[in-house]
Amino acid sequence: MRWTPGGSSSNVEDRRGMSGGGGGFRLGGGGMGIGGALVVLVLSLLFGRNLFDDGGAAVDPNLPSAQTSGGEVAPVNATAAEEELKQFVTFVLNDTQETWGKILPRAAGVPYRDAKLVLYRDAVQSGCGAAESAVGPFYCSRDERVYIDLSFYDELRRRFGADGDFAQAYVLAHEIGHHVQHLEGTDARVRQYQASRPSVANDLSVRMELQADCYAGVWANSTNQRRLLEQGDVEEGLNAASAVGDDNIQRQTRGSVRPESFTHGSSAQRANWFKRGFSSGNPQSCDTFAGAI
């Protein structure tokens, strides 16, 4: 992907030097040990939100929010490669938000409002509660922030074979897709239906994730129109979407596939919806719900 290093953004919050950000990731009311964190890692690498209340981290009302976490900030000790990656995600953040700032009002009559991007290490306090890096990238609608531990990208490459800068861009574009859903009010409607109809909760979660994949494709179409894509970039995005399909994850971790337990969609579904957004460049082609809500 053609991009310009050296950019900055007031929407990037670098908390990599913050201590006291954790307190332990909690799921279902109990602390999580190393074994549990591994399970969450595998599932959360799907880039999704369904495991966590309000589309992000597990919520603990007794934990402070990010704004009042009280952690101490120290200078960031980062490698040159990590700093280059920070510049890259900053570029992608700026580009995705500038793109949606033009598209969303025209397509949905909704004004776009910038999300924030929080970079952290190991653990973080979000508006949705405390989370460890094992949860992977996530979007929290309560504070309208995307949270990423940059080490995730190495895990994406090593564990799932999704390499390349556009695979990395897809991750962030997917999370910004969740922010677009929040601005549209889709996430609130989905939570309401999930609460009233638990039997379709997984299906609605899949539809949410596939729409975010499609929205990532819409942004990718814009980069193609502006000649930012290089040979192989689209394939990198499709490979990343396929690598984190529910069926691929279950096959790797269980040795079998259980479609009834899908919460993010199959590899084929995720790749196909990304491709649909990329082909059309129109968010109106991303109606994964088809009257379901």
Q: Where are the domains of the chain?
A: 12-286
pLDDT tens-place string over residues 259-288:
777 778 888 899 999 999 999 999 999 999
Task: Pick the range with the lowest mean pLDDT from 35-49, 87-101, 229-243.
Answer: 35-49
> DSSP readout, 249-280?
HHHHHTSS--GGG-SS--HHHHHHHHHHHHHH
pLDDT tens-place string over residues 213-245:
999 999 999 999 999 988 888 888 887 777 777
Report how far residue 209's alpha carbon sits from residue 185's, in angstroms, rounded to the nearest whole number.
15
Identify the residue whose tokens are 């009257």: 291
pTM of structure: 0.80
pLDDT tens-place string over residues 8-28:
899 999 999 885 443 333 333
